[in-house]
Structure 1
């Protein structure tokens, strides 16, 4: 009996010279499951090894990364649809990759068939510890050898993998940049616009009008072209104003004073610098549903957010509970092995809030009793971010701490949980990112600041002054 004929598997052929071919690493799809649509009219090649890694990752206990692996798999399945094996290997159209003109293509490369048969191609070996990375690099090397004049690029967020690929002779290796919100982190909105000299000396045209009980000064948009609602405008003299709203032609300013801002009090806490005072104004504004506070460690972000929460719940009766959550990268694997309830398991990561409660009540005659009483009266709940998805928080004051370690997708899914009559405060320090695949330019916190600065019901404030101690200020600046 003759054995059946073996049908050769044809790897995807290079695209025309005018287009480019991008070979994607697994971490790109985990970082941004929608990355397949980010390469315009060019071809995206997914090695079989990437599909195998996604298959292993989708069942991990780390819910965040496993969820993104499943989303990436579902998108790939949707794109290949009912296409046959040959079509999938050659490339199928990626819907939505371009608004007009030719669409991008997605191809699956059967990299398990690559053999070291071409001595001129420096394929990497299958060392067990590096086998998957090497197989993905080998796909790009094979495509480059078959079409030496074409643009073949490996896209990965793994720095060492980029070095290995370049060292192996791959001409084009890039980080995934589509998720970058800014070209330079120094361009990130801070919530304030500092002008040189006297502000009014720069203004030639101004009108004064009333909006309810607020006096507004209307100036041409050209005088403050980058102004956005809820931004503060400060000059080098004594002028300080709050951007009430903007339209296509004008900016409407509500003039304030430093004394008025510095006289605010939340739960006995007074601002120690102007930036803290401006942050307190944003927190206490009923028309602002979300406040984003950024700044270095020791600037008072957590203390301000907690003090206002207690003030709003216990004194103003605005909310019924205070929910505290923070980013904890190892939490998915570690939290299950700690004893107690979810709140007790979260305690090691949320000790900073206990420290701040001690600051607010350290002078009480019985500080421990006061802290326990406040926790109960304010209905303070400590939550893991992994268990917030799928829930809706109504009539709640929510604090998300250490948000700089969250991806854009993760932060969006958390903010979408905020229900009616609630306020959310997002805190983070972009200088303390501990996620190896996230940089200040790609952090979900950066994305949130830039995408919401023009939203009239959000406020942003960068608090630069370090008030924790003079030693903390020295460490932040010099160590």
Structure 2
């Protein structure tokens, strides 16, 4: 059956290259969507405006040489990599829709929401394309409800960005086995590589294993998967006691998840670490402690860059005065709090914090101003990533230069983007796509160590 997909504006903002995600089918973009993209491309929000411009350029790349008639009927979408046709793209002039026919149109007057006019395009195509599958694709839940209530038979969320169907299936960076690990192993080959003891076992024992995944049992065994091939797994044996006795900038782990996170951020061959977990689990504190240790004691990096996304609501209170660091202060207060934790017992805590910020060359950045830059010899912490799309996170990760390490932090229970859910978050996408990369590590820190009240609130409120 031929399928016709009508795309909402938020789909193109979420994934500007969504045109190439529908394979051999027809994509219809209502004129109202182009008008919305035109308005959004000039917004002060640099993230959204940039994605709008990329989406417009992608549409223009397909339609630029076509005639007006061909644009309305459909122009082939050619895959730039393989040169094959992956479907066709058409623009629908929804301003010409008449209300005097059989389609159950919503009010499409200029006084009504643009959503109604986009829904009307799908209703029109459904009425005039018998036997074809016509579907509206939008990330707006209320718009999906309105479309179904208006009689549109097929309405979907944009699912290409979903790497898992249930957030419970997201990789945690470790696997806990019941009983004794060695009871599962029939044959093993152990070799010594430097100071590390490596065990080569049958892959069938851990079929879901991936590089840098920890393996624990109910006893004292802790191992780290270093290599995975078709038939075997190479596991580095670790000491649980040594993991728990690690120390970074005066900080020691309080549970095994924190201990494993300590180990990951210190690995020389890991360029990116993604730490997920609830509020109060110690993600930020661990990332910051290693950054100070690596810069001040090991002299491994030249600077520590701390960045997070400023929410759109920030524009409503106007422009804050001062430098970029001073403007970012309200949203990076969590790092100031963690610096106080690390130096709270000093004789002069605030003097120590100011000294550390200067000597460690700590720079506070907004993600809105990181595009196009390259960070070399830097340790980078990106906080509150759960509200970013996969496209936004990709544009940040590609900024990491030579001799640099990046730590990505996020709590999927605190998403404040209305178009993003835990399964469609860029953080979830990053975790699932990077887990097989040998130079990336992931860890879900589940224990809440902030306070007993914080633990109660996270679990019960």
Q: Secondary structure at the match of 2:330?
A: coil
| Alignment partner, residue 382 of structure 2 | 400
Greater Rg by CA: 1
C-alpha contact 1:40 1:97 (8 A) present in aligned 2: no
| Alignment partner, residue 442 of structure 2 | 460
CA apart distance, 1:98 = 11
Say whether residues 1:179 and 2:161 are aligned partners.
yes
**CA distance in 1: counterparts of 2:451 and 2:433, whole angstroms:** 33
C-alpha contact 1:63 1:332 (8 A) present in aligned 2: no
Distance verdict in 2 for CA 1:99–1:40, change over 3 Å: farther
Give the counterpart of 2:14 among 4, 8, 31: 31
Give the counterpart of 1:134 among 116, 120, 139: 116
Say whether residues 1:338 and 2:320 are aligned partners.
yes
Give the counterpart of 1:448 among 427, 430, 437: 430
Ranges in structure 2 where 5+ consecutive residues have no aligned partner: none
Flag as ranges the 4+ runs of structure 1 deviating above 4 A: 97-102
CA apart distance, 1:335 = 8.4
Matches within 5 A, 1:87-236: 87-96=70-79, 103-118=86-101, 120-128=102-110, 130-236=112-218
Distance verdict in 2 for CA 1:98–1:308, change over 3 Å: closer
CA apart distance, 1:224 = 1.1
Q: Secondary structure at the match of 1:77?
A: helix
C-alpha contact 1:335 1:345 (8 A) present in aligned 2: no
| Alignment partner, residue 50 of structure 1 | 33
Aligned length: 461
C-alpha contact 2:253 2:259 (8 A) present in aligned 1: yes
Q: Secondary structure at the match of 2:113?
A: helix
C-alpha contact 1:37 1:97 (8 A) present in aligned 2: no
Say whether residues 1:281 and 2:281 are aligned partners.
no
**CA distance in 2: counterparts of 1:220 and 1:177, whole angstroms:** 35
**CA distance in 1: counterparts of 2:263 and 2:428, whole angstroms:** 22
Say whether residues 1:471 and 2:461 are aligned partners.
no
CA apart distance, 1:127 = 5.0
Q: CA offsets, 1:177-202, max 9 Å, x none?
A: 11111111111111101111111111
CA apart distance, 1:19 = 1.0
Ranges in structure 1 where 5+ consecutive residues have no aligned partner: 1-17
| Alignment partner, residue 381 of structure 1 | 363
Q: Secondary structure at the match of 1:322?
A: strand
C-alpha contact 1:97 1:103 (8 A) present in aligned 2: no
**CA distance in 2: counterparts of 1:32 and 1:122, whole angstroms:** 30
C-alpha contact 2:302 2:378 (8 A) present in aligned 1: yes
